Structure 1
Amino acid sequence: MRVRTGGRRHEEYDDDDGHGHQHSPAGPRVARLLTLPALALLLFPPPALGSYSAEREAAERAAQGVGTFPALPSGEPLDLTLAEFGSRAVYDSERSLKGRTVRLTGFVTRDDDGTWYVTRLLVSCCAADATTSKVEVRGADAPATDTWVTVTGTWRPEGTLGTDTAWPPVLDAGSVWTVEEPANPYEKR
């Protein structure tokens, strides 16, 4: 029921025990409160996603279908993104990476057992939709977590193609170099 009092419009509501009470419009106050989170993000932007985000994502790699891939270019080492390397290592029935020397760049992440990975976050649109691409590195000491590195080495086939046993792919390191973080630290899908 709407009631006019003193030129201002109020609405009368009955609560659960039947007693009516009046409310004044709260719209402008609520709108001001809703701007606080947006203002906080503008004044204190979150840091770029890193190893914490990558470690949280479980290896949810369902079989996407094993098949063939286009031929790789000649020359070595072969510069690949982590996503390209991972796709070929896990799903390429021709095993085109076998015997090839590749070069991968990303940041260092680790498991609790000491296993380390060169990792990159892949985005379609923005950091909010980021997923992880990582390659286990063997045969080299791990730099500090979140350090950007370029790793050169050869693929070590493990597991059954197209299954979780082939994930994450493994690289036998020939060399590991510390590098500067790229201007765009994310790979595009």
Structure 2
Amino acid sequence: MRRYGPALLLLLSGAAVLRITVFSDLYLRYVQSGLKVYLIASGVVLLALGALSAVRATRTHDHEELEEDDGHDHDHDHHRTPRIAWLLAVPAAALLLFPPPALGSYSADREAEQRAAQGVGTFPALPSGDLVDLTLGEFTSRAIYDSGKSLTGRTVRMTGFVTRGDNGTWYLARLLITCCAADASTYKVEITGADAPVNDTWVTVTGTWHPKGKLGSDEAWPPVLDSTSVKKVKEPANPYERR
């Protein structure tokens, strides 16, 4: 069994990568959608290398048996997998069988308030209509930096997950990733006018902007939304904020 260790590790890793890319959208929990093709290619390469490694191990085994039949006795331990290498199977098996969830409220709470003034300016007009769908990033930018105050009097709708603060305060949050989950940054909006759902619950919130603080200042972050409706929804296939 040990001689087939490298092949099994490669096959397991390749199967795990293809499981979260080809057969589901779980890869979106960890990386940007544009990296899917590279992940699929990596999974295929790992499977191919695993198959080649298995064939090589079989041929080596057959050759060793021939040597033994000829009366030659050699030490072939150098072909075997070091025991510590089997630890690599743990993350691969976990990804294959129990994929970790997307980042949530814990990661959002770890994000420091690094919203120093970045300059105030005007923004394009919002679409017409009684209700405007915005990402948290779009809402945050307009609430903190828009000198034209285009959000004033407009009813907006946003989707994200719940994270709780102090003294009953809660936030609608969403994480933005540039490349992968390791570089995630947080957008969050304080929600008033409704009780806080359970942490990490996905909700769609409708309401109006509540101005606070001086535009472009740390006091203006996080922005506030006076809610008129909070509706629980299913976690989207891509849980991260779109760029």
TM-score exceeds 0.5: yes
Which TM-score applies when normalising by structure 1? 0.79
Query: What does residue 145 of structure 1 align with?
Result: 199
- Indicate whether 1:42 and 2:92 are aligned: yes
Structure 1 runs (4+) greater than 3 angstroms displaced: 31-36
CA distance in 2 between counterparts of 1:41 and 1:65 reads: 44
Deviations 1:11-58 (A, max 9, x none): xxxxxxxxxxxxxxxxx99x975773x543222243310000000111
- Indicate whether 1:130 and 2:180 are aligned: no
Query: What does residue 99 of structure 1 align with?
Result: 153
Q: Which has the higher helix share?
A: 2
Task: Please give the root-mean-square deviation of Cα atoms over the aligned residues, in Å.
Answer: 2.0
Which of 175, 180, 185 is 2:239 aligned to?
A: 185
Say whether the 8 Å CA contact 1:77–1:102 is kept in structure 2.
yes
Task: Using the TM superposition, give the Cα deviation of residue 163 of structure 1 relative to its aligned residue in structure 2, in angstroms.
Answer: 0.6
Structure 2 unaligned blocks of 5 or more: 1-78
SS of residue matched to 1:182: coil
Query: What does residue 117 of structure 2 align with?
Result: 63
CA distance in 1 between counterparts of 2:182 and 2:227 reads: 32
Task: Using the TM superposition, give the Cα deviation of residue 114 of structure 1 relative to its aligned residue in structure 2, in angstroms.
Answer: 1.5
Which TM-score applies when normalising by structure 2? 0.62
Identical positions, percent: 69
Task: Using the TM superposition, give the Cα deviation of residue 123 of structure 1 relative to its aligned residue in structure 2, in angstroms.
Answer: 1.2
Q: Which has the higher strand share?
A: 1
SS of residue matched to 2:241: strand
SS of residue matched to 1:109: strand
Letter in 1 for 2:90: A
Task: Using the TM superposition, give the Cα deviation of residue 171 of structure 1 relative to its aligned residue in structure 2, in angstroms.
Answer: 0.2
Structure 1 unaligned blocks of 5 or more: 1-27
Correspondence 1:4-83 to 2 at 5 A: 33=84, 36=87, 38-45=88-95, 46-83=100-137
